[in-house]
Structure 1
Amino acid sequence: MTSANRIRLLTVDYHAVLRDGIAAIIAPEPDMVLVGEATNGAEAVEAFHNLRPDVTLMDLQMPIKGGIETIEEIRAVAPAARIVVLTTYEGDALAVRALKAGACAYLLKSSLRKELLNTIRIVHAGRRYVPAEIAQEIAVHAAEEPLTSRELSILQRVAEGKANKMIAWELSLSEDTVKAHLRNIYSKLDVNDRVQAVTTALRRGIISL
């Protein structure tokens, strides 16, 4: 296969070890070639514009500019861009955000050795891929009422260890209003207290620290 016919890949990840690992997996494949690497979202946007890869492998947690924002920015100027998210986060809410931003696939880094090459070929062929366990979580929570932006801002502050009084002051609310929002959050997440709410929201990727 000539180089012109190979799947041209761009890897975007802050960690050099991960980028090296991906390069090692791709190197023996006759139908693929790694054309570039980036360490953060800002570099990724520039590299994408310069290289125009067939498939971009994108981490979500990066400095300067995160993966979701980077996907949105790339897709805004290149709607047909094919992007595979590579992440350690199994949360259904984060997966949904990535897919809505324009990702074509959502792959856990723990399964790269087994699934990366097949996922690249699936996406290059114009199809989508989400691991069964994450697809199941998305389906389980699909009918649930999402947290509002106000509830998210309160829950994020709870996760940062702030008391109701401080949250109320920062958001120009009364403490009773904050408590009412927290009750709604507990109900939507099917939990009983602050600790459970934060733990569940972090696991599902609804908030991050």
Structure 2
Amino acid sequence: MTTVIICDDRRNVRESLTRVMTAVPGVTRIDTVSSGDELLARYGRSPAEVVLIGTQRAVAAGVEATRRLVGAHPQANVIVFGAPDDAGSISAAIAGGARGYLRWDATRTELVAALAHTLSSSSVPAPRPSSDTGVRLTEREMQVLRGMSQGKSNGQIGRELYLSEDTVKTHARRLFRKLGVRDRAQAVAHGFRRGLVS
């Protein structure tokens, strides 16, 4: 039995995500709230395995909701979703305790995959110990990570770097391995958390 809480002040966003969530195998309850206060009250009464929180440029509500929820409930698995070019909000949310990131326009497949990764383990991987700050990414791996943080597809990254899509995928797999992550969302989250991208 898997439960999800969606927090965003935009009704259309909450409704759209709810429709997608109903297609995820194993999700048995989806609650929606429109503010951080509602989220804290709802989570306090009925914790969920995953919390999706929206961030918006120049609107601190999503970042603040993340910070308050994780501060009160450190075990909360928060995934933030926002505009791919809104690095400031995403970075602040990650710093505030979010454990993953999705673009607001993520495809159904990407959203389902992110939820599946989260639900397949007891929690989303937490920040790795500081002892691995010596991880060294090649310039190409950094370029691929920056492209991912901007919400670009492997094909788009490849065109910008004059690389084939398969080559971009190879670099992506290597950087995933070095960062100890399983997918793009986690790579971007770790990248923001470590200051590799901004």
TM range (shorter): 0.5 to 0.7
Question: Whole-Å Cα distance in 2 between the matches of residues 39 and 113 of structure 1?
Answer: 22
- Letter in structure 1 aligned against 2:109: K
- Letter in structure 2 aligned against 1:142: G
Question: Whole-Å Cα distance in 2 between the matches of residues 131 and 90 of structure 1?
Answer: 11
2:124 corresponds to which of 116, 120, 127: 127
For the residue of structure 1 that corresponds to 2:14, the secondary structure is helix
For the residue of structure 2 that corresponds to 1:111, the secondary structure is coil
Kindly indicate whether the alpha-carbon contact (under 8 Å) linking 2:7 and 2:54 is maintained by their aligned counterparts in 1.
Answer: yes
Deviates more, 1:52-61 or 1:93-102: 93-102
Question: Whole-Å Cα distance in 2 between the matches of residues 143 and 29 of structure 1?
Answer: 32
Q: CA RMSD in A?
A: 3.3
Summarize deviations over 1:60-88 as a string: whole Å, max 9, x none.
239x9711111111111211100010112
Aligned match of 2:195: 142
Question: Whole-Å Cα distance in 1 between the matches of residues 89 and 83 of structure 2?
Answer: 11
Kindly indicate whether the alpha-carbon contact (under 8 Å) linking 2:4 and 2:49 is maintained by their aligned counterparts in 1.
Answer: yes
Question: Whole-Å Cα distance in 2 between the matches of residues 49 and 82 of structure 1?
Answer: 14
Matched, 1:13 2:28: no
Aligned match of 1:191: none
Question: Whole-Å Cα distance in 1 between the matches of residues 29 and 12 of structure 2?
Answer: 15
Aligned match of 1:104: 99
TM-score scaled by length of structure 2: 0.59
- Letter in structure 1 aligned against 2:94: L
Question: Whole-Å Cα distance in 2 between the matches of residues 112 and 67 of structure 1?
Answer: 21
Question: Whole-Å Cα distance in 2 between the matches of residues 10 and 70 of structure 1?
Answer: 12
Question: In the TM superposition, what is the alpha-carbon distance from 1:19 to its structure 2 partner?
Answer: 1.3
Ranges in structure 1 where 5+ consecutive residues have no aligned partner: 1-5, 145-203, 205-209
For the residue of structure 1 that corresponds to 2:48, the secondary structure is coil
Aligned match of 2:18: 23
Kindly indicate whether the alpha-carbon contact (under 8 Å) linking 2:21 and 2:30 is maintained by their aligned counterparts in 1.
Answer: no
For the residue of structure 2 that corresponds to 1:79, the secondary structure is coil
For the residue of structure 2 that corresponds to 1:110, the secondary structure is coil
After TM superposition, list the pairs within 5 Å mapping 1:1-209 onto structure 2: 6-61=1-56, 66-124=61-119, 125=121, 126-128=123-125, 133-134=148-149, 135=188, 138=191, 142=195
Q: Give the direction of change, closer, same or farther, for the CA distance of 1:143–1:114 in structure 2 (3 Å limit).
A: closer
Kindly indicate whether the alpha-carbon contact (under 8 Å) linking 1:25 and 1:113 is maintained by their aligned counterparts in 2.
Answer: yes
Question: In the TM superposition, what is the alpha-carbon distance from 1:131 to its structure 2 partner?
Answer: 9.4
Summarize deviations over 1:175-197 as a string: whole Å, max 9, x none.
xxxxxxxxxxxxxxxxxxxxxxx
Ranges in structure 2 where 5+ consecutive residues have no aligned partner: 127-144, 150-187
Question: Whole-Å Cα distance in 2 between the matches of residues 57 and 131 of structure 1?
Answer: 23
Question: Share of identical aligned residues, percent?
Answer: 15
